[in-house]
Amino acid sequence: MSAYQNLIAGQWAPSATGRTFENRNPADVDDLVGTFPESSADDVAAAVVAARAAQPAWAAMPAPKRGDVLYRAANLLEARADAVAREMTREEGKTLPEAKGEVGRAINILRYYGGEGARLYGRVIPSERDRVFMHTLRTPLGVIGAITPWNFPIAIPAWKSCPALISGNAVVLKPSELAPLCATRLAEILVEAGLPAGVLNVVHGSGEAGSALVAHEQVRAISFTGSEATGSKVADVCGKRRARVQLEMGGKNPTIVLADADLDEAAGIVLNAAFGSTGQRCTATSRAIVERSVADAFSEKLVTKAKAMKVGPGLEAGIDVGPSINAAHADRVVTEVAAAAGAGAQVLAGGTRLTDGALGRGHFVAPTVLGGVTPTMTIAQEEVFGPVAAVLSADDFEHALAIANDVRFGLSATICTRSLSHALQFAQRIEAGLVMVNLPSAGVEYQVAFGGSKASSLGPREQGPEAIDFYTTLKTVYMKY
């Protein structure tokens, strides 16, 4: 067991409160991953002071040189990928192959935004006046607050910090208290790669530290990923103090399966998107909306595949589904399934906690398939964030599309079909920021914009080149010569 610390002004130090919290392995609560500082508003304030002091020199460094730091960090993380992935499985629960995939993604993010240092383009715009030269420059905002959840404990800290840093900002990162170790490893690596002291600060703790960061008047922008309830509070505070805000929140992502789809492939796509990472992805499929004529055949295939999944500790070989993040979350998942059954849904697979033998030391839920779900049921409207797929029936493409859009979220959506016409109509008319055709709703790439519509997201897109828009402001320069 180790005692981890905050990173403020280049120094690893405990919280000024002296308080700590424990992080335990969700697959085995006897396994203590570490203790972390329980930080207060004073710790956040110290981190912001450090960030403000460090930011001008960092911004003055040529951007491609800032990129060199990210490239070096990518190489360091690559050398430690296996160790970090194992730590991720211990702190978050996802299977080791899933954790390795996420670490690989963080490496790609570091390299990609390292390269953006040579591409922070402005534009030259023709003036309507004689001998006036007009151009735009991208400039950093100053200090950025990044508040991250537990479900992608290294990728999300990386995809917020890297575009912020390459743009010349300093960052104060508040990771989730449920999975704080990987963010610590990312920070250690960036420091080792040569990031100057104070440019990245990490303040561990709960919502107390998060809300202090959001409220801090010297923090120019907040990038937040997490629940809709917390995101709304963050947006309210930022709105009042005119800070820039970006929110990535929940989803109720549909996969439409039309009668012309390859049903076996469609069941595999839903299986992957619903149960991968234990369903704890904001892009997870939680609704399969299936054309009525093939609904029974599709459900049968999905149920067979779901029942064959191996649930257990993610460090063991051959495990398909790891634990939920904590006991309260696992209990909530099975309570919501029971409520759906009470409302008339049929539990076709799973629906219970798994507690036999060693599984009893973790927070395991069986992969769950619900049939006979109707669009107005709570299970068809609210995010579960667990290994639960609800199967709904639709008369045809138009009906399926109407059901798919009839939720307040709009993050990711899939259609399984062989019809090019339906695929293109779907891309145009589905209310979602991420549109997949014959691909799982989860499993997005780093070099392209990420984000949703409606209650799923607020503000400019994350990832890809568009991420830079949030972390920079444009100056328009007019020069008479």
With contacts defined by CB under 6 A, how many residues of the chain interact with ligand NDP? 26
End-to-end CA distance of the chain: 66
Is 229 or 420 the residue whose CB approaches ligand NDP more closely?
Answer: 229
In this structure, the chain runs to a length of 481
Is 326 or 374 the residue whose CB approaches ligand NDP more closely?
Answer: 326
C-alpha–C-alpha distance, residues 134 and 115, integer Å: 26
Chain centroid to CA 351: 25
- b/e burial code for range 184-202 (CB count within 10 A of at least 16 → b): bbbbbbbbebebbebbbbb
Query: Of residues 385, 397, 470, 471, which one binds ligand NDP by CB under 6 A?
Result: 385
Taking residues 236 to 265 in sequence order and writing x for each that binds ligand NDP by CB under 6 A, - otherwise, the string is ------------xxx---------------
Query: Of residues 24, 80, 233, 454, which one binds ligand NDP by CB under 6 A?
Result: 233
Is 237 or 427 the residue whose CB approaches ligand NDP more closely?
Answer: 237
Q: Please, what is the minimum distance in Å from the beta carbon of residue 470 to ligand NDP?
A: 16
Q: Please, what is the minimum distance in Å from the beta carbon of residue 433 to ligand NDP?
A: 12
Of 402, 161, 416, 431, nearest to 269 (Cα)?
416
Is 116 or 383 the residue whose CB approaches ligand NDP more closely?
Answer: 383
Q: Give the catalytic positions in this structure.
A: 248
Q: Please, what is the minimum distance in Å from the beta carbon of residue 231 to ligand NDP?
A: 7
The answer to whether residue 210 forms part of the interface with ligand NDP (CB under 6 A) is: yes
**Nearest 5 degrees, angle CA 402-CA 398-CA 458?**
35
Q: Interaction with ligand NDP in 98-157: which residues (CB under 6 A)?
A: 147-151
Query: Of residues 234, 349, 407, 430, which one binds ligand NDP by CB under 6 A?
Result: 234
- Tokens 């990420």 correspond to 450
The answer to whether residue 230 forms part of the interface with ligand NDP (CB under 6 A) is: yes
Q: What is the CA radius of gyration of the chain?
A: 23
Cβ distance 379 to 345 under 8 Å? Answer: yes
Q: Interaction with ligand NDP in 392-451: which residues (CB under 6 A)?
A: none
Neighbouring residues of 462: CB distance < 8 A, sequence distance ≥ 6:
159, 160, 163, 223, 246, 248, 449, 450, 451, 470
Q: Interaction with ligand NDP in 323-382: which residues (CB under 6 A)?
A: none
User: How many CA atoms lie within 13 Å of 191's alpha carbon, on the beta-carbon side?
Assistant: 17
CB atoms within 10 A of CB 377: 18
C-alpha–C-alpha distance, residues 57 and 69, integer Å: 14
Is 66 or 204 the residue whose CB approaches ligand NDP more closely?
Answer: 204
Is 32 or 297 the residue whose CB approaches ligand NDP more closely?
Answer: 32
CB atoms within 10 A of CB 316: 14
C-alpha–C-alpha distance, residues 447 and 261, integer Å: 29
Is 206 or 346 the residue whose CB approaches ligand NDP more closely?
Answer: 206
Q: Please, what is the minimum distance in Å from the beta carbon of residue 279 to ligand NDP?
A: 10
Is 277 or 472 the residue whose CB approaches ligand NDP more closely?
Answer: 277
C-alpha–C-alpha distance, residues 291 and 297, integer Å: 11
Query: Of residues 25, 35, 55, 176, which one binds ligand NDP by CB under 6 A?
Result: 176
Q: Among all residues, whose Cβ is closest to ligand NDP?
A: 210
The two beta strands, 409-410 and 2-3, are unpaired
Q: Please, what is the minimum distance in Å from the beta carbon of residue 95 to ligand NDP?
A: 18
Which segment (22-30, 118-126, 208-216, 424-432) binds ligand NDP by CB under 6 A? 208-216
Phi-psi region of 194 (alpha: psi -120 to 50; beta: other; left: phi over 0): left
Query: Of residues 87, 91, 98, 177, which one binds ligand NDP by CB under 6 A?
Result: 177
Q: Please, what is the minimum distance in Å from the beta carbon of residue 267 to ligand NDP?
A: 25
Q: Which residues make beta-bridge pairs with 140?
A: 472
Q: Please, what is the minimum distance in Å from the beta carbon of residue 378 to ligand NDP?
A: 14
Q: Please, what is the minimum distance in Å from the beta carbon of residue 207 to ligand NDP?
A: 3
C-alpha–C-alpha distance, residues 1 and 5, integer Å: 13
Taking residues 451 to 480 in sequence order and writing x for each that binds ligand NDP by CB under 6 A, - otherwise, the string is ------------------------------
| Token pair recorded at residue 472 | 């920079």
Of 274, 295, 265, nearest to 368 (Cα)?
274
The answer to whether residue 313 forms part of the interface with ligand NDP (CB under 6 A) is: no
Q: Which residues make beta-bridge pairs with 361?
A: none
Q: Which residues are at the interface with ligand NDP (CB under 6 A)?
A: 147-151, 174, 176-178, 206-207, 210-211, 214, 225-227, 230, 233-234, 248-250, 282, 383, 385
